[in-house]
Amino acid sequence: MASTTPLLRWRSWYVPFAVLMAVADVLLIVLGTRTGFHRLVVWVPAVCGVATAVASFAATARDADGPLAAFWRRVAVAMGAVLAGAVSHTVDVALIPFDGMPPLGARTLLCYVVGTLLAIVALLRLPGGGRSWRQLTTALLDLAVVAVTAGVAASEYLGWAVGRFGGQASAWWLNLAMVAIGVAGVTVVVKIMSASRSPAARAALWWLSPIGIAGPLSMILMTVLLPWPHLNGSAVVLPFVGLFGTLAAYAQQRVLTGHGASSARVAHPAVYRRGAAIPLFATGMTSLLVGVVYLRTGHLTTIQVGGTTLLLLLVVARQALALAENATLLETVAHQAMHDELTGLYGRRSFAASVAGAEGPHTVVLIDLKDFRSINDSLGAGAGDALLTGYARRLTAIAGEQAVVARLGGDEFGLLLPGAPDATAGTVARLVAAGDEPLSAAGHEVVVEVSIGIADDTDLYRRAEIALREAAGHADARVVRYDASLERQINQRATIAADLRRGLHTGEFHMVYQPIVALPHGLITGVESLIRWTRADGRTISPADFVPVAEETGLIVELGEWIVDAVCAQAADWHRRYGPDVLGSVGVNVSARQLLDPGLPDMVASALARHGLPAQHLTVEITETAVFGGGRALASVQALSDLGVRIALDDFGTGHSSLGLLRTCPVDVIKVDKSFVDGLNGTPQQEAIAGAIADIAEKMELSTVAEGVERPEQARRLFELGYRRAQGFLFARPMSAAGIDALLDPGVGVAA
């Protein structure tokens, strides 16, 4: 087997050679009507053309697998029988004397018939995919239409053959064989029409279909070519049999190598409707045939009249069934347009229509699954889909039969609940409580927190969306019910966003710096930079108001670039004037949104290089929440650390997994949150936590900074617990760069 494998490879010359044989055949026929030559000459392209088809079928079978490989093996065997018939036919012409019709021996006829039967079997055994009962009935009617058409045509053909050849037994057998070959062509056409899913390329099946008319056409050409004994009707059509077969194999090869349309095609309504043209074409051709016969003879046979009548009835039945199928398809399309494909819930369009048409008191509840994206990324899309499906079932069970439940897209769901706010409060409470129960997602038990926005007045959908955005924007808010203040806040944020963009370009922002001091003497060792905004009209905007807006709008990236540049410029100036030993490092806060920007490390590197600031004199302060999910944010932190920039974990102890981050994140400094400092001199447990953080940092060789120190006793206790640096109002409030200059004079401290 291994030695024969190279012989079965697809050859690039198959198609050009088959085309050449067909062209040579046409030229020989044209030349043969003008001059004589040896009668075996026309059989050279005939045999070579069919042999090319056999080789191309075998090569395609080798490259395919499963049912597709079996199909091409079967048609290769069938075409091999036709090739044997072509060779046998050549021998008949060479050895049997004839005067008139060319000879066709019993052996040759048997080969042609066997090849035809094998081709029919191969086509019938080709998988066609399942269909609905309507589609199966329609396919059977199509088969009946084509069969009746073929029967009428065959009766006319046999009538012509009897009139042309008389009652010779050999002529009868020959014509019956030709009709059988025609049936093979009809089988191919019907197979194409009835297959909803086929492993064979549709284009390949269409290229095979013209082969069916080769037999009857060869008989007609035999009578046409009788004046030229060196020509033969079978020799005329066989090169085209080889050409169409080779083109069919080539169409399949394009699919196998990824250059053509998909081989396994699901029947789309538009594809199936194209099959309706074939019964109409069959009816038209039969009507034309009957009309020609009547005009020529003045009468019609019983078969012709009965066949035409039956054909019309079948077409009417077929079209009536097709109309019913179209109605079903329209209902299916309408259902898909209004429902979510994954969960089966209503979609956004139908939900919006239900909200708009709701009469009486109703409540709209919009739900967003928090952290769904990270779950989907970590567990895979399959688990994500399973999670959405499971939550859809939970939501439907909680909402009840009277509610409209919808998936609005992504991880957002909607409920339209009948009744006033008091009547729907219980449902909302159950939604919140259910959020603590795990859901099964592809073998994983997942707890999903939700953000819920509620509106129960006019303009429900829009107001519920406002409430949902408010709930999703706050880590500690799970349920937000719409009220007028939310809209005012949105309008205020929109105004701030517009002013922020303008202020960034008109120089309304400036930096202040809060000292970080050494304990216990209070000498300055570093500073943290903080952004401030004073509008042109003198009004000051709090960072608590404009930083979240900058995050939402994406302006934080542009604003952050300005901050880093300004801080690096100021730090470089201090470094040149006071030296590296006076002011160790300048801290700059970087938000979660900035860490997701892949250009952040390059931007920081450019600022350091532009101002000549050594990287170790810049500290980037990040929050635990910003890097908890890993991914792009953690990669940015690692890239910054690789530059030599120091990394400080701000507000330590308030995030998701503080101790775990010390292991996965390249941290240099821990800034302990103010809440731990406020707890000093309270219960022993609170001091134990603060002391444990200092011990852990020392063992991991990390620096610590205690934030929010406001009282001298806090500073003293922090020093006793092992803290050597602190920051807070006890030492200094944020001040201008000039204020820091005053503190940097040798010997000047900031201790209270």
pLDDT tens-place string over residues 410-463: 889 998 988 777 777 788 888 888 877 888 877 778 887 888 888 876 677 777
586 assigned to some structural domain: yes
What is the separation, in whole angstroms, between the first and last Cα of the chain? 94
Would you say residue 300 has pLDDT above 80?
no
501 assigned to some structural domain: no
Given 267, 295, 315, the domain boundary residue is 267
Would you say residue 135 has pLDDT above 80?
no
Would you say residue 52 has pLDDT above 90?
yes
Q: Give start and end residues of each alpha helix (H) in 644-752.
A: 658-664, 674-678, 684-699, 712-721, 737-743
312 assigned to some structural domain: yes
Residue 166, by phi and psi: left (phi above 0), alpha (psi -120 to 50) or beta?
left
Buried b (16+ CB within 10 A) or exposed e, 39-50: beebbbbbbbbb
Asked if residue 477 and residue 380 are part of one domain, the reply reads: yes
pLDDT of amino acid 631: 79
Residue 679: beta bridge partners? none
Q: What tens digit of pLDDT does each residue of 635-669 get?
A: 999 999 999 999 998 888 765 556 767 778 889 99
Asked if residue 575 and residue 453 are part of one domain, the reply reads: no
Residue/partner pairs of 705-711 with CB below 8 Å, 24 or more apart:
705/516, 705/648, 705/669, 705/670, 705/671, 705/672, 706/672, 706/676, 706/677, 707/650, 707/651, 707/671, 707/672, 707/673, 707/674, 707/677, 708/673, 708/674, 708/677, 708/678, 709/677
Given 335, 369, 391, the domain boundary residue is 335
Which structural domain range is residue 447 located in? 348-482
Would you say residue 4 has pLDDT above 60?
no
Going through 560-636 in order, the beta strands assigned E by DSSP cover: 585-589, 618-623
Asked if residue 280 and residue 242 are part of one domain, the reply reads: no
Asked if residue 68 and residue 39 are part of one domain, the reply reads: yes
H or E element in which residue 455 lies: strand 450-455
User: Any idea what the CATH number is for the domain that residue 368 is in?
Assistant: 3.30.70.270
Count the helices and strands in the chain (H runs, E runs). 29, 16
- pLDDT over 70, % of the chain: 77
Tokens coding 663: 């292991």
Average the pLDDT over each of 304-318, 482-496, 591-605 and give the range with the smallest value. 304-318
pLDDT of amino acid 271: 40
Given 247, 267, 287, the domain boundary residue is 267
pTM above 0.75, yes or no: no
pLDDT of amino acid 207: 87
178 assigned to some structural domain: no
Q: What tens digit of pLDDT does each residue of 553-607 get?
A: 888 999 999 999 999 999 999 999 888 777 889 999 998 889 888 899 999 999 9
> What average pLDDT score do residues 718-741 get?
93
Asked whether 78 and 122 are in contact (CB, 8 A), the reply is: yes
Q: Give the β-pairing of 524-534 and 585-589.
A: parallel
Kindly indicate the confidence band of residue 140, based on its pLDDT and cuts at 50, 70 and 90. low
751 assigned to some structural domain: no
Q: What tens digit of pLDDT does each residue of 492-523 get?
A: 777 888 889 899 889 999 999 999 999 998 88
